[in-house]
């Protein structure tokens, strides 16, 4: 029993955050942005609207936590603190946000 407690005590912060039920990042996907368009012009409008949303997120200070891969873009606003677990976005030590 005491060994178990010790293990819990030494579990790193990352695992602690992993258990948090609050989402720590947002996901943006581009796969369906043209869906529903009936004309090429409509598709163009939808793509432009999507692009504007991305630009707005950028302008508000959001950053990707890693390069977009397979249509999944994970983004956070650095410095945002999770009310549930205290996780602060953008402080990963893997250097993903380096150069932002």
Q: How far apart are CA 57 and CA 78, in angstroms?
A: 12
Residue 84 touching Zn ion (CB under 5 A) = yes
Residue from the set 82, 88, 96, 97 that interacts with Zn ion by CB under 5 A: 82
The answer to whether the beta carbons of residues 76 and 62 sit under 8 Å apart is yes
- Rounded-to-integer distance, Cα 17 and Cα 85, Å: 7
Q: How far is the CB of 19 from Zn ion (least distance, A)?
A: 9
* Residue of the chain from 6, 8, 11, 22 that contacts Zn ion (CB under 5 A): 22
CB of 86 to Zn ion, least distance (A): 7
The encoded tokens of residue 89 equal 């976005």
In the complex, least distance from residue 20 CB atom to Zn ion, rounded to whole angstroms: 3
């Amino acid at each position: 029993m005491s060994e178990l407690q010790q293990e819990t005590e030494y579990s790193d912060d990352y695992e602690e955050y992993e258990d948090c039920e609050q989402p720590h990042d947002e996901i943006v996907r581009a796969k369906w942005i043209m869906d529903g368009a009936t004309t090429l012009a409509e598709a163009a409008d939808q793509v432009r609207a999507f692009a504007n949303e991305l630009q707005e997120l950028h302008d508000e200070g959001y950053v990707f936590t890693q390069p977009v891969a397979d249509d999944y873009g994970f983004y956070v606003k650095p410095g945002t603190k999770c009310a549930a677990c205290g996780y602060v976005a953008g402080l990963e030590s893997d250097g993903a946000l380096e150069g932002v």
